[in-house]
Structure 1
Amino acid sequence: MQSRNHSTVLEFLLVGLTGDAQLQPLIFSLFLCIYLVTVLGNLLIILAVSSDLHLQTPMYFFLSSLSINDICLSTNTIPNMLINMITQNQSITYTGCLTQVWFVLVFTGLENCLLAVMAYDRYVAVCHPLRYSTIMNPSCCVLMVLVSLLLSLVFGLLHTLMVLHLSFCKDVEIPHFFCELAQLIKLSCSDTLINNILVYFASCIFGGIPISGIIFSYTHILSAVLRMPSSGRRYKIFSTCGSHLCVVSLFYGTILGVYISSSVTDSPEKSIVASVMYSVVPQMLNPFIYSLRNKDMKQALRKFITRLCAVLSSHVNFTEE
């Protein structure tokens, strides 16, 4: 097979979810709805938290950060796919592809870190309630988010720079709807041993540490809750932590599905479905999980929507007059 250096690769072709033309309108409508629901749902969470003084706490600050990250992650992948479907143009430039890889890694890594930070916040709130305001002060909360972002940027940059050293053959079709690191490594016709080792090593470190932190936090939370005499207090803690646990299970469960799918099968279709499950579905469902299971969030959303409707109604009446 004749190969060429990566410097001569000007663009890749994103095959998308399916080559069936009859399914294109259905897929376009489905992903457009998913994207709109994701953006609007997470935006409502952000606006509700920022407008309600009762929600100006570390837990909801981290939740707002998670919602911003979910919007960014979805915006990095879905709109480009929708534009490609409208224009019938599957090409993406070499630079654009690497940029998309970097952003996907950064936002996925940041979500990973934020879930661990949120678990630590719940641990301090339950196990050290008297010291909660001292430990989780505003400066500490901002610092934890910034450190998480910095680590995610380094994580994404490291993998992206390693891709720059790869050479690609004449076949530059990516069997996916966005540029994913694993697909680029598979597409390369040069030696990818170092890249694969780096992926597994970074995944173990960058994924293992947050997961260990989450397990540590909830082990101590469960132990503390079981010792509480008040059933009402236990129910409130389980309700608050239950939302976070659902989000954690959804995120890590879908990522685990990607790894299992890629290791047991070479089917591009199954790999795409697995990737959709971690890059699209959790970001759409997170706002519903928190709003439906959290009483304070439901009340804040109700107040915000009521105020918003009142403002819109008064604006319409003023325009008519």
Structure 2
Amino acid sequence: MKASSGPGGPPTGPAPVGPTAAQSEEFARTNKRLAVHDYLPRTFHDGSAVAAKCEWSSHVAVNLAPEEGGALAWILIDTIMKARFGPATQLHDTWRQHTLTGTKIPPLSNPIIASFIEPVFGLPQAQKNEDHLHGHVGEWLWHLLTKDNSAVRVQLDPKGDVTDAGADGFSIYETSTGDLRFRLWESKKNTGTASLSTSLNKAYEQLAVSGQRYVGKIVGTYGQSSSDTSDEVMALVTSLPAAWLQGDELVGAGVTISTHKPLPTMPFKKMAVKLPLLSKPGQLRGLATSIDSYIEIATLVRRYAWTAL
């Protein structure tokens, strides 16, 4: 696109690529497509929970129209920012209003709102690594595609600092018989030149090497981060360190990968080999998300985050 210019002045830079936040919000609202699932349908599910096998699902979107990609980016950033602001709902309202009107947040409020955006997205004048952006979007795709499952009892929003060490996510869920189980999730994005298998193998290795430490951190901070502290949930939580060490049926592992590349026929076939302690039926899960415009959508998510700054 050609650069725009002010009245009688030099070009002010390239015109933004893609729809504005207001256009994307309007598309999602008027078409009643307000959830990530509306743009990323589940395209495959291998539902057989057998020993030493990963049960997995895929969500694939190919050739999204620009309006659809923009709407997906808007749903992601609006949800992310609502979580970032937490109980400070008036700050979210301010950010949202100015983002949708395309106006700048007043100088007194700008640094306050920027402090919620910077840990994840950086700022226009101090951008964060593109890998962090792509990875954070992938974590939120996993979260929004899985959290509304009726079996899920606890699944926290992705962490608010992309460089924070620790688990990418976890779920506490009910089995078909009503028993509680725990699953530790590792998230990987693949938007570079490495193969998908390389990214997946890194996830398996991370779970194998650091899983015990991740579980310990989750247990140690659980009461500070989750509202479900019922007796049955707390009984499960306190048993997790020993259960993970032994590969007990109470625990399991999940790997999610997000990419712009086509998915292989069986993306998680090596997971059982890499995590041999988790060999009981139902202990291994995989989620693969492929959007051919993934990089463009992630960039648009960040552009919407910065629009009002």
- Interval containing the TM-score (normalised by the shorter chain): under 0.3
| TM-score (norm: length of structure 1) | 0.26
| TM-score (norm: length of structure 2) | 0.26
Structure label with greater radius of gyration: 1
Is the helix fraction higher in 1 or 2?
1
Is the strand fraction higher in 1 or 2?
2
